[in-house]
Structure 1
Amino acid sequence: MKPALIFDMDGTLFKTEKVLTLALVDTFNQLNEQQLWHGEAPVQSYLTMLGAPMKDVWQTLLPGAEPALRKQADHLFLVKIIEQIKADEGELYPDVPLTLQRLKEAGFSLYIASNGMMSYLKTILNHYQLNQWFTDYYGADRLPVSSKTELVHQLKQDHQLNEAYMIGDRKSDISAGAANRLHTVACTYGYGSMEELAQATMNISSFRDVIDIVAMPIESDDASTQ
């Protein structure tokens, strides 16, 4: 039986910065207009945090703000970013649809584990017609978990996955894969630094390289034997 493939979303399948900038600026403009916050949208700060849980993002972008304001900003941002995706302002990485199709046709089961919200993931999957290739997807608000490691653990249990790859561009992806005894693949074209991806089993420089990776015979490695 072929191993399952678990993908991150931002920085792995989807170029998040394409919609993030406009959505973040719109969000902070609205907060300023309502006199709830004063200051420009900290776009560059957020770009360094892509893929992080949103609760951590808002603690950084709105320092000292009340929890209610952070919650409101989070809701506004989600609405704005979904609007941008539906307006076709976003972009997938090259060869994503074709690669997913080939992997599915080859008999691999495909999943998503992301720190993004379920509505965000659903919008991307529907807009780009990717849902036809995925068995299931797990976002940050699907389950009461506090980390991607726990999210991947639950996905693995729910679908009884004995062997799988975790494919992503941030340290949280590699750590989640290693902790769950999965083979880990670092997407070096995404948002993570080489330093934070150093513990990955394998690296890829483009999404289509996934096909070559999974076609290779898998030898014993730290992620699968620890």
Structure 2
Amino acid sequence: MKTLLIDVDGTLIDSYPGIRASFLHTLDAMGHPHPGEDILSRIAGPPMEQTMRAVGMTPDEAHQAVEIYLRHYGEGSWANAEPYPGMRELLARWKEKGFQVCTATSKGEHFARQSLELYGMIDFIDFLGAAEENGPRRSKESVIAHVLDSLALRGTQPDILMIGDRIHDFDGAATFGIDAVACAWGYGDADEHAKARWTATNTRHLEDIVDEWNEQS
């Protein structure tokens, strides 16, 4: 059985509006200045503590900021999002084709499950691979390792494909020798997409790439 590892934010769901709102709330609560839109547009995807550190917070400040962020996000910002058109239907087709469909997201497990339930995607997910809101499993590498170990997939890397939109998706997959597809509709740029083996411009193109990979691998 071939396995698809799929990112959530920027791949299945456009969650940027809610992430942005909670991020700005956190900066205000911490008395921290707002960065420019060029920085704000790239906050979705990486672990939030990395983003807090990237805007100049100390490790202790970043830890406190993540707690504020998660509290605000859980009060409703998590639902300030939209599924990308066609992705729910594509998940259903992948299941029909016999793929094992898993997530591999830096989003916390609780919020990942809530989001996928809200948009009717959870029924097509065989294993929910996600970060821990308050635990050591935060990086993309640790999330992928969690999926591989939970499903006894170590050593089957040629039969696994990562689908995401940011550089940490592709670098995380490469750590384990897993090929990746970049989704151009997400939050990454062309330089990040270049880290993936393929770049999909829309859901039909993504489906074609996965079919080609499945036939060749």
Q: Please, what TM-score do these two structures have when normalized by structure 1?
A: 0.81
| Residue 110 (structure 1) aligns with | 101
Cα–Cα, structure 1 residues 24 and 215, in superposed 2: closer, same or farther, change >3 Å? same
Seen in structure 2, the aligned counterparts of structure 1 residues 170 and 40 have a Cα distance that, compared at 3 Å, is: closer
Counterpart residue number, 2:170 = 174
Letter in 2 for 1:200: A
* Counterparts of 1:214 and 1:186, CA distance in 2: 12
RMSD of aligned residue pairs (Cα, Å): 2.4
CA gap 1:153/1:218 in 2 versus in 1, 3 angstroms: farther
1:148 and 2:148 correspond: no
- Uncovered stretches (5+) of structure 2, i.e. residues with no partner: none
Q: Which of 35, 53, 56 pairs up with 1:59?
A: 53
Aligned to 1:192: 188
More strand by share: 2
Q: Could you tell me how far 1:169 is from its partner in structure 2? A: 0.8
Mapped to 1, the partners of 2:10 and 2:216 lie a distance apart of 27
1:24/1:41 CA distance change after superposition, 3 Å: farther
Q: Bigger shift: 3-12 or 18-27?
A: 18-27
Tell me how far apart the structure 2 counterparts of residues 38 and 151 of structure 1 sit (CA, whole Å).
Answer: 30
Equivalent pair of 2:179/2:197 in contact (CA under 8 Å): yes
Q: Give 1:127 shift.
A: 1.4
What SS does the aligned partner of 2:128 have? strand
Once the two structures are TM-superposed, the CA of residue 42 in structure 1 deviates from its matched residue by: 5.9
Secondary structure of 1:115's aligned partner: strand
The amino acid of 1:138's aligned partner reads G
Higher Rg = 1
2:10 paired residue number: 11
Q: Which runs of 5+ in 1 are unaligned?
A: 221-226
- TM-score relative to the length of structure 2: 0.84
Q: Which runs of 4+ in 1 moved over 6 A?
A: none
Identical aligned residues as a percent? 25
